[in-house]
Structure 1
Amino acid sequence: MSELTSVLLVGAIALVVVAHIAWLARAGRNRAKAALAADMASVRRVIRDAADISDGTAGVVTWAGSWNGQRVQLRTIVDTLATRKLPTRWLAVSITEPVAVPGIFDMMMRPNSATTFSNFDHLPHTLPKVLDLPAEAVLRTDRKGVAFPQDLIASHTDIFAESRAKELLITPKGVRIVWLLAEAERARYGVFRQAAFSDANIDPALVERLLEVASRLREAINRRERQAA
């Protein structure tokens, strides 16, 4: 094989490799667009006026709108922290309306590693908990010496018996529940280090369920505060 032929062959191989990489990137973008469109369609089955208000943060998509006369927000977060065995995709469902609590109440299930979807790790005070709250839950707050209606909160935490329920956050500005949507495909992540989620579609029934739990809890807390006033 002549030197010229060798050079041409190497050049041809390089062009094929570049073209294949470009094709993979384009296919990845197309899949991402299709997945985002499917998620938007699912969200709008529950929140009719949902709008994408994402700020461009990688791996985070946020929608806001109204549901049953209340302002709500949905967010999906891809968590790729190196401390996790596999990347995870979380769904955070929030009622963004006032709640009669004196500070931040954050209940995290099995908090054995850092999180990218929550400020739980940065809250300075751990709360003692009532027996009716989940055994695997840890409670934290931003204010020392404050009291929360834990008995009332406990009566609305049945959903946390399910392993996918991860966090309940109550603040004066709203109530949020975080749910595990999926873990990345092990084979693809192990070989290509790509966080692909084949079963991470947003289920409208799940969104409705989480909104109902958050809404009932908010209403119960505010009702007790009104009665005590």
Structure 2
Amino acid sequence: MSPLVPLGIAVAALGLWLGYLLFHESRRRANSRAAYFNAVKPLFQGGETRLQPTGFPRMTGRRDGLTFDLQAIPDTLTFRKLPALWVLVTLPEPLPLDATLDLMARPSGNEPFTRFATLPQSLPTPPDLPKEIAVRTDDATRIPPPDLIAAHADLFQDPRVKELVLSPKGLRIVILAEEADRGRYLIFRDAEMGRTPLPPSRLEPLLDRLAAIRKDVLALKDMP
């Protein structure tokens, strides 16, 4: 028997083993992405989850009579230092507002989750907010009063809060949930995120904050 035969068998066996490992890892990653919102489901009274083309879920659920929408959006654009995973927490309940007000921390103009850059009017940063917060709107004459924003300015004390949107269609907070592991990304260009489900302790304060902002907006129409 040729000495090359055992070598060929060994190479084939190694190839099969590596293929199995790659298949197993790919399946594990897909399962972890799909389960990203599993841990926060107990925060809601019923809900629906559907898988997005990114492999991450989108979830809607009811909490204290309000409907919330959760989205996880991976951002792997090369101009970022590290790929990021953004979580959009939306309260899509109509509000008595006449304009959209968008507050964005450190905008780059390339955020994949927002229409901030398309809003036509730029406003000065309110004194209650950090200087790195930029503000835009589609009608500066109809935005909510400054006291409303001041009451919730502490939201941006969390450096992972990226955006707050108030609009006639509802409210949204966007957070930086995760960044890719620096070492694995720099060496292997591995941008995998979402291995660990979003913890309820991270989401619950955002749900409560959106409900509080909504309550304050509704109170405006009762003011003389």
Deviation per residue, 1:136-187 (Å, 9 max, x gap): 1101123354333232122112121111111001111111111111110112
Structure 1 equivalent of residue 64 of structure 2? 68
TM (norm. structure 2) is: 0.87
Query: Aligned residues: percent identity?
Result: 34
Match of 2:112 among 106, 112, 116: 116
1:173 and 2:173 are equivalent in the alignment: no
Q: Match for 1:48: what amino acid?
A: Q
> Mind listing any 5+ residue stretches in structure 2 that lack a counterpart?
none
Q: Is the 8 A contact 2:33 2:55 kept in 1?
A: no
Structure 1 equivalent of residue 41 of structure 2? 44
Shift of residue 42 of structure 1? Answer: 1.2
Cα distance in structure 2, aligned partners of 1:11 and 1:115: 50
Q: Which moved more, 1:63-72 or 1:28-37?
A: 28-37
Q: Which moved more, 1:124-133 or 1:105-114?
A: 124-133
Q: Which moved more, 1:210-219 or 1:104-113?
A: 104-113
Number of residue equivalences: 224
Q: Match for 1:154: what amino acid?
A: A
Specify whether residues 73 and 6 from structure 1 end up closer, same or farther in structure 2 by C-alpha distance, changes over 3 A only. Answer: same
Q: Is the 8 A contact 1:79 1:89 kept in 2?
A: yes
Shift of residue 8 of structure 1? Answer: 7.7
Shift of residue 91 of structure 1? Answer: 1.5
Deviation per residue, 1:194-218 (Å, 9 max, x gap): 2133775311122110011111111
Cα distance in structure 2, aligned partners of 1:8 and 1:120: 62
1:16 and 2:42 are equivalent in the alignment: no
Match of 1:135 among 131, 138, 145: 131
Cα distance in structure 2, aligned partners of 1:161 and 1:111: 16
Cα distance in structure 1, aligned partners of 2:153 and 2:9: 62
> Mind listing any 5+ residue stretches in structure 1 that lack a counterpart?
none
SS where residue 53 of structure 1 aligns?
strand
SS where residue 45 of structure 1 aligns?
helix
TM (norm. structure 1) is: 0.86
Say what the alpha-carbon RMSD is for the aligned residues. 2.5
Q: Match for 1:16: what amino acid?
A: L
1:85 and 2:81 are equivalent in the alignment: yes
Q: Match for 1:61: what amino acid?
A: P
Cα distance in structure 1, aligned partners of 2:73 and 2:181: 16
SS where residue 217 of structure 1 aligns?
helix
